[in-house]
Structure formats: C-alpha cells, structure tokens
A and B are shown apart, each in its own frame.
Chain A
Amino acid sequence: MIEFAALLLLTNTTLTLLLGRKGPTQADQLLAVLLAGSNGIGILALVAAWQAEPALQDVALLLAALAAVLGSTFARRSWQRRGPGHD
C-alpha cells in the first residue's frame, strides 16, 4: 500500500517536471519545481515508513524547512522579466 502510494507519487512528480518545464513564464516553470518539492516530501515520508528508516523523516523536515527559501528568492530577487526563461 505504502509502496504503491510512493510509486504513484513518484510518477506524479516526474510527469509534472517533464510537462511543466515549458511553462509560459519563469514563474510557471518554478512552480513545477515547487510542486516537485512538495511531492518529494510526501514520497520521502512514505519511503521512511516503507523502509522503516526514521532518519528519512528528518530529510523531509529539512526539505520542508528550506521550501520557502527558493520561492521567496525567486519572487523577491530573481524575477525581473515576465517572459519565458530563455536568455
């Protein structure tokens, strides 16, 4: 059950990354990564239960802690143009 959930979530993550990288603006492309991060935390928690390795819960905790930094950096500092991410 947990393995199945992890597999589904991994498929979700990969498909989102695959299809989302061509977004119209840079923010759309960043959203793909934010979504992948959120999925990744879920997968890590599931794998922690699957392999009975509680240290992976700490990995999920660190990812959650650092999740805000990427989005905030992009919005406050890096996003200067409304166009796509081609330079």
Chain B
Amino acid sequence: MAIDTLFDALLAMSLLWIGWRIVTTQADFNAVLLFIGFGLLLALAWARLAAPDIALAEAAIGSGISGVLLLEAWSALKQQTVAATAASPLQRASNIALLAGVGLFAIALIMSLFTLPPVAITLASAVDSQLAQTGVSHPVTAVLLNYRGYDTLLEVMVVLLALIAIVMVMNQPNYQQAGVQAGPSKANNSQGSSVSPLLILLAIYVLWAGAHQPGGAFQAAAVLTGCILLLGFTSLGPTLQRVIQQQQLATLVGLLVFGLVAILTSGATPMLTLPPAYAGGLILLIESFLTLSLGLMLAGFAYALAKPQGSAVSKKS
C-alpha cells in the first residue's frame, strides 16, 4: 500500500479512537488531555487535506489555547466530583439504541457524499475573480475580513460575551479555588523573559503574514495569549494579571475599531463593504486591534478561571 494511504488511514483511525475515548472516559483530566492530543492530530489531518489555514487555527487555538483553558476549567471544577455510577439495564439499552440510530444516520450521510454531483458550486473562482480589489492577496483572509467581515465581527462579539459569562460565573462563591499556588521560580522568570519578546515578534509576523499566506488575527491572538500566560507565571505575574483584568478598554478596542469601520463603511453600500483603495490598510488596522483584543480576551478567560481563593478580584462589569 502507498505510504500516504497508510499515513492517512492511521491518522483517521487514531482520530476516531481518541474521539471515542474522550466521550467514554470517566476521568475528566484524562478527557482534557486526550482532547489536546485530538486537536493536534486534527491539525495534522487538516494539513494532509491541504488546508494550512485551518491547520494553523486548529493547532494554535483549538489545541493550544483551548487545552490550557480546559485545564484551568478542570482545576476550577475539581471540588465538584460526581460519583460514577454503573448504567442500569434500561439506560444501557437506550444507549445502544441511540448509538445504533446515530450510526445508521452517519452511514447514510457518508453514502450520500458519494451520490453528490461532481462539483455543484465553485466559490473559489468567484473569490479569486475579485481578489485584487480585496486589499489582501490570500483568499482565506479576503473571505474572513472582506467578503464575510460581518461574520468575523459577530464572532469577536461572541468571544466577548463568553468572557463576560465566565467572569460572572466564576464570581460565584462555590468556585473559589482551594489549592496552594506555587510561587514563580527562576526557571519561570528566565523562561518568561527570554521567550516573550520572541512570541510578540511571532504574533506580529503571523498577523502580517495573514495578508499573503496562512495567518491572521486569530492565530496571532493565540500567540499573544500564550505570551501573556507565560509572563503570568513570572514574578511579574500578579501585577500583570491585575492590570489585564482592569484593562477593559484594551480588551474592547478591537471590537470598537471593527464596529467603527463597520459604521463608517455603511451607507449607500451594505455594511463593511471596504472601498478597494483603502481595503488593505483597513484590514490591517482591524486585524491589529483584533489581535490585541482577542489576546487579552483569551488571557482573560484563563485568569477568570484561575481566580485565587477569597481575594477581591476586580470584576469586569
């Protein structure tokens, strides 16, 4: 058998197996770890499917940052242990019936894939035909920030809503974290100080590269969040955490700039129709502030989830 077929088959089977284990494992920590591994293998699958943009987003956000957030959420939830009980025969029967039904549906869907007409819709040519007027030369960025800019605006709003929800939930008294947090060590300090300039440069590179190759604001924001979280482990950590939780304007500025551009470009044409002469500059402007905001929002997730016990934390109202 050809090596690439073997590779793809192994990848597919591993994904299925890990997905199965995530759903059926009783230990939450195990499920979190397997989820991170799953995200990594999924990024590989996207790479094999010649979709480097999605691979980049999956590796950075789906596996990297989401993994860290899940880990923080797990440690915030540890007090609430649910005893695992064996399923009664009725439950087991209904589980099997459900599984059979879902399996049949999945098979039907897969079979329908083979009966689709060869190429029903080709959007790629439509995207490429106007690419010169979008202000960027990479089709994925053009779709995200020009053709479908409105969707991206709403996505950022969703992230903001999630942050507000997390902060509100974590302010409940029964989510106080009970463990002792270790202090920063010299290794943490030197790691933070040596790697964070590199990470900031990397974030700027990924942001800039999004114009002509896979990259963009969300991935750059993930790198920025990683940088902030690493700095949070140094002796600068508590100060940084306090500053970030109080910096509501910096967290919102991406959304504000995006909204401002949306308002300014609405009028005769639909909202967020970027004029071709300024499109490149506007996209860079929006993406830069989005990177900053999203980075702060994602770091805000982690800091809200890791609230120390009993201290008065400034709320994001």
Interface residues of A (CB under 8 A from B): 3-4, 6-7, 10-11, 13-14, 17-18, 21, 26, 29-30, 32-33, 36-37, 40, 43-44, 47-48, 51, 53-56, 58-59, 61-63, 65-66, 68-70, 72-78, 80, 84-87
- Chain B residues 192 to 249 lying within 8 A of chain A, measured CB to CB, are 195, 198-199, 202, 206, 209, 213-215, 219, 222-223, 226, 229-230, 233
A22 smallest CB distance to B (angstroms): 8
Contact A29 B47 (CB under 8 A): no
Contact A66 B222 (CB under 8 A): yes
Stretch in B30-38, B110-118, B167-175, B269-277 touching the partner: B30-38
**B278 within 8 Å of A by Cβ?**
no
Interface residues of B (CB under 8 A from A): 3-4, 6-7, 10-11, 14, 17-18, 21, 26-30, 33-34, 36-37, 40-41, 43-44, 47-48, 50, 52-53, 55-56, 59-60, 63-65, 67-68, 71-72, 74-75, 78, 81-82, 178-182, 188, 191, 195, 198-199, 202, 206, 209, 213-215, 219, 222-223, 226, 229-230, 233, 302, 306
Measured between beta carbons, the chain B residues less than 8 angstroms from A65 are 195, 198-199, 202, 223, 226
CA distance A66 to B67 in the complex (A): 10
Query: Contacts A3-B7, A85-B30, A87-B29 known; A77 to B75 CB distance under 8 Å?
Result: yes
Contact B181 A29 (CB under 8 A): no
Contact B28 A53 (CB under 8 A): no
Measured between beta carbons, the chain B residues less than 8 angstroms from A6 are 7
- What does DSSP make chain B's interface, helix, strand, loop or mixed? helix
Measured between beta carbons, the chain A residues less than 8 angstroms from B18 are 17
CA distance A12 to B36 in the complex (A): 17
A7 smallest CB distance to B (angstroms): 5
Measured between beta carbons, the chain A residues less than 8 angstroms from B191 are 68, 72
Query: Contacts A53-B50, A66-B60, A87-B78 known; A59 to B43 CB distance under 8 Å?
Result: yes
Contact B29 A58 (CB under 8 A): no
Measured between beta carbons, the chain A residues less than 8 angstroms from B59 are 44, 59, 62-63
A63 smallest CB distance to B (angstroms): 5
Measured between beta carbons, the chain B residues less than 8 angstroms from A87 are 27-29, 78, 81-82
Contact B40 A62 (CB under 8 A): no
